[in-house]
Structure 1
């Protein structure tokens, strides 16, 4: 007997490969070598599988504020990994309307922007950035978010992710202080090679 976990793993794989709209319950059951009836015992509709997958998205707000550029880098890398894992969702704007009030609020743009500005503001307080006001932070992070949505549609691999993270840092570099540059060269550059 296949478990719900196996069903979700298979459904995510098929959704990522063919798209949510192009994957049927029969496609999922065939990939699992089970009957549609057995599949519907666990999940009545494809919609139920979708919501179970969305509830697995754990973009939990960090408990602590970033105190180094490495902390922020890890947060961005975690976000990108989550997007790659669930690229079917981030590649289909119609699916965004389905999640209202049902998944982690960090999946939503405004919540992500608030988190990013909070983290960047603290890094400025810690001396890593200079002349980086809230308006510029929001604009920079909006550019990153839009780029995320375009990037994810190309089915990126781990090398793409490194290059993409490097692009994020290129947007932040104009605001580095001397301390920011030192930290970047010592802690971030080695991770991007």
Structure 2
């Protein structure tokens, strides 16, 4: 397949999945948006599951976890960049569990990316503890538990859902982090991050 045509199919598909949700987009919708026949589209991608897998595999080529945050300011930026990624790929997060079941390759990408994010957050917390911004664990596994909650929020946050009561995602992230900040960390938060 011509590389330009492949990129066009994948980009139009990603846009439609983002706008309408994976479940609401058909191969006919994608073909119509591309001004090609469904037969032409299915020549390249037999079914929608193949197409969404290709979209995710292509996107993952350029995806990277931001560098490990070493300050509270960088941690805030880490959160902001993660939220932007979620907005840019909303279909992926809205259908996270479903997409994992559709394709073993997509599932492996999800596991790999979560592990990278987990490692970055673990290294961040360790550095912030060494520099006196985050307290030491009060119960075994506390920091790992906090990291898992942060990851779950990142994956499943849906601002349009009534489940989240209209709470801003950044407020949610910092509501989890703030109680484990030292007084030094709280001063930085209040002076440089609190709006």
TM-score by length of 1: 0.77
Report deviation, 1:28: 0.4
Paired position in structure 1 for 2:190: 185
Gaps of 5+ in 1: none
Deviation, 1:168, is 0.6
Among 47, 67, 71, which residue is 1:68 paired with? Answer: 71
**Structure 2 residue 106 is the aligned partner of structure 1 residue 128:** no
CA RMSD of aligned residues (A): 2.9
Tell me which of the two structures has the higher relative contact order, counting C-alpha pairs closer than 8 angstroms and 6 or more residues apart. 1
- The alpha-carbon deviation at position 61 of structure 1 amounts to 3.6
Partner residue of 1:86? 89
Q: How many aligned positions are there?
A: 182
Structure 2 unaligned residues grouped into runs of 5+: none
In structure 1, the residue matched to 2:170 is 165
Q: Does the 8 Å contact 1:113/1:141 carry over to 2? A: yes
Alignment of 1:1-193 (within 5 A): 3-40=5-42, 42-55=44-57, 56-57=59-60, 58-63=62-67, 65-92=68-95, 93-97=97-101, 98=103, 99-102=106-109, 105-106=112-113, 108=114, 110-132=115-137, 135-152=141-158, 154=160, 163-189=168-194, 193=195
Instruction: Give 1:30 shift.
Output: 0.9
Q: In the TM superposition, what whole-angstrom CA distance separates every residue of 1:76-130 from its partner, at most 9, and x where no partner exists? A: 2222211222221222212123213356811x3x443333222211111122111
